[in-house]
Chains A and B, each alone.
Chain A
């Protein structure tokens, strides 16, 4: 697939992107929004934090997506004794009884690594976070006296927010490296729950994953296409003004008359969204616009990803941190409901 004819490529890639969604939806039920958001993250080339309980299908979901994207899929479990070098290499005794060193999960696939899943990242120590975050940002690492490039890697990390014992909360600066934090919740629909319980096909994750059509996308062309896509989608002055207002509202919600039921909003926010976060917001919104078959950015594109892009970036004052999930959801909803687009349109 050559990135030559923009319109043709955009349409082709869009068809592939929609195909990815439909393929994954065949085996993962009740997670349509999460699948759509992950699709956006893939085309926006952003890393994703997954938030959800145990046994909700995160691994199956990721394996299905990795199969569609193509390339290699690697996974590591976050534990309290996990050290950074465990990502880089591991040692073992060879058949000849001599110690040997082999590449760890991060390096093993080399440039073919397309999806790296860090399960329960908050159980790992900060040293591991530091390494991981550096690799996520730079997409290369030096080991064994050589540089390993990971240009196509997208990291999906899961953090268990239920259990707090022996966990190391990811600091705000580290969270900011993740484009989105996507909630993976148990479906509310009773029929879906029934299917998950009684439909035997959901009992075998491996065979379920194999039902997904492999290599729907060309993982090694995603970076180049993402650049084409980002330059293709235009944003008007009106929308840029609106995005600026949204950004300001994450920093000073009281200026926009935003109120929360149980919280004094003046004391809630310590730090709002970062410039990188807002850049990622627009990047993800452009992908949404493209998936909606448009070449212009609409407010609805921003809304589609706003909460997942912004909520984990907000830094609340300490007293509110233990209620972060609920407050962040309420705040982002209030921002979208209160900050008006039309009032900014006059500036156009």
Chain B
């Protein structure tokens, strides 16, 4: 194998040298060889342009009869068109030759192809010259994959996509939404100041709303106390006095955490309503407002 590679490289070197020999004739000067820009992805029907420009010393002229014939076809490459432009520049003739090749090869997988080498001949009186335009290789790309088959063979019976079981997710979502709704309703129920629903209009809720609208004065302070008394009476079912607080708490245990505050309220209220030395106090008013709100929260089971 190694020997083969060495031989191949030697042959390639000799061939290159011959080509260069043509090009290196002092009477011929190769100015330009322009091949297609891409050497891959070429498909059937594609047209590949190749342009060659060269100068020859006079008296040499290009032999037009030796130009490749239009329509020549070999190895899947057809010379579709060839144009020649000749000019004179001093003692030199300049030629520009455009080759148009069209690919007609058929293959089911990529194939290495080439634009054929072209030999241009120049005549003079005695010693003709030839210039060889080397071949240009490229990769032919198949239009369809090699293993393409009839679509019918590739068809599968139609299946519904597998349905993911979302019952547990639905259950969790419903539970979450129910909890969320319940929580929001609870917060709304506990904190709402208005009586948007009938069960939000408890005795202490009413008292709280009325106290908030009560003017901040001694008379207002007395009224605020009265509102709380009225709410206590309403909740208890009969008049509630300091001696009845214990039975009241036993009857309404949801107020048990405010037992001490209720006792304190009765003391303050008695002093306010029945003692001659009652005075207005902003702090007292705020305390009544706060107490009525806390009683309302208890009433709503917060």
Task: List the interface of chain A (C-beta within 8 A of B).
Answer: 234-236, 238-239, 294-300, 303, 336-343, 345-346, 348
Contact = CB atoms under 8 A, between A and B. Distances in A.
A103 B25 CA distance: 182
B21 to A, nearest CB: 130
B239 A339 contact: yes
- Overall SS of chain B's interface: helix
B238 interface: yes
A338 B239 contact: yes
A71 to B, nearest CB: 34
A345 B230 CA distance: 11
B238 A338 contact: yes
Nearest to B275: A296
B273 A236 contact: yes
B270 interface: yes
A342 to B, nearest CB: 4
Contacts of B239: 336-341
Contact of A340 (B233, B271, B273, B275): B233
Contacts of B226: 342-343, 345-346
Contacts of A303: 241, 243
A44 to B, nearest CB: 19
B143 to A, nearest CB: 101
Contacts of B229: 340-342
B238 A298 contact: no
Contacts of B271: 296
Given A342-B230, A346-B223, A296 B276 contact: yes
B179 interface: no
Given A298-B270, A300-B241, A345 B275 contact: no
Contacts of A235: 274
B209 interface: no
Nearest to A348: B222
B242 interface: yes
A300 B275 CA distance: 13
Interface string B260-279: 00000000001101111000
Given A342-B225, A343-B226, A348-B222, 11 more contacts: A234-B275, A295-B275, A296-B270, A296-B276, A299-B274, A303-B243, A336-B239, A337-B238, A340-B233, A342-B273, A345-B225
A345 B276 CA distance: 14
B225 to A, nearest CB: 8
A346 B230 CA distance: 12
11 contacts: A234-B276, A238-B273, A296-B270, A296-B274, A300-B242, A340-B229, A342-B225, A345-B225, A345-B226, A345-B273, A348-B222
Contacts of B275: 234, 236, 294-296
